[in-house]
Amino acid sequence: MRRHMGRVCDITGKTSLVGGGYSNRVRATKFNPTGKRRRHVNLQKKTLFIPELGKRMTIMVSAKGLKTMKKRGAHLTLKKAELI
C-alpha cells in the first residue's frame, strides 16, 4: 500500500496547482493582476468493496479517478495504481 500526502489522488496522482487569478479588468487592459490562487483537486474519500479480494478499501480519489474506475473496473484500476 502506498503512503500519500494530503490532497493527492491515489489513482491519477493529481495534486493542487497554483494559477493566476484574473479579474475582468485584467482581461480588458492586461494590467492590474490580482495575485496567485491555489486550485485544488476535486477529491473524495471513498470506501470500496473489492469482490476479487473480499475486502474493503478506503481511498482518496479525484472525480477523474472515479470515472476511470467506472470505465475499467475498480480491481484493475487499483492494481495498475499499485494500491493492491
Mean pLDDT value across the chain: 85
Instruction: Tell me if 61 is assigned to some domain.
Output: yes
On whether the CB atoms of residues 75 and 48 are closer than 8 A, the answer is: no
pLDDT at 4 over 80: no
CB atoms within 10 A of CB 50: 15
Instruction: Tell me if 72 is assigned to some domain.
Output: yes
Instruction: Tell me if 26 is assigned to some domain.
Output: yes
* pLDDT computed for residue 7 by the predictor: 87
Q: Which carries the bigger pLDDT value, residue 69 or residue 34?
A: 69
Flag whether the pTM goes above 0.75. Answer: no
Determine the 3-state secondary structure of 84 from DSSP.
coil
CATH assignment at residue 60: 2.30.170
pLDDT at 5 over 80: no
Q: How many structural domains compose the chain? A: 1
The three grid cell numbers given for residue 15, joined into one nine-digit string: 495534486
**Using one digit for the tens of pLDDT, what is the confidence trace for 28-53?**
666 666 778 889 999 999 999 999 88
Instruction: Tell me if 36 is assigned to some domain.
Output: yes
Cβ contacts of residue 57 below 8 Å, gap of 6+?
A: 47, 48, 50, 78, 83, 84
Question: Rounded distance, CA 68 to CA 6, Å?
Answer: 21
